[in-house]
Amino acid sequence: MPPITPALWFDGHLAEAAEFYLSVFPNSSIEELNDVSVVFVLDGHRFIGINGGPQFPFTEAVSFMIGCKDQDEVDYYWSRLTDGGQESQCGWLKDRYGLSWQVVPDRLFELISDPDPARAQAATKAMMGMRKLVVAELEAAADGA
User: What pLDDT is attached to residue 35?
Assistant: 86
The residue extents of the domains of the chain are 1-56, 58-145
Q: pLDDT tens digits, residue range 15-73?
A: 999 999 999 999 999 999 998 999 999 999 999 999 998 999 999 999 999 999 999 99
pLDDT digit string, tens, across residues 78-131: 999 999 999 999 999 999 999 999 999 999 999 999 999 999 999 999 999 999
CA dihedral 100, 105, 106, 110 (to 10 degrees): -110
Same fold? 1-56, 58-145: yes
Task: Report the CATH superfamily, name and number, of domain 58-145.
Answer: 2,3-Dihydroxybiphenyl 1,2-Dioxygenase, domain 1 (3.10.180.10)
Cα(52)–Cα(80) distance, rounded to whole angstroms? 25
The CATH classification of domain 1-56, taken from the options 3.10.180.10, 3.40.50.720, 3.40.50.300, 3.40.50.920:
3.10.180.10
Query: What is the pTM (predicted TM-score) of this model?
Result: 0.94
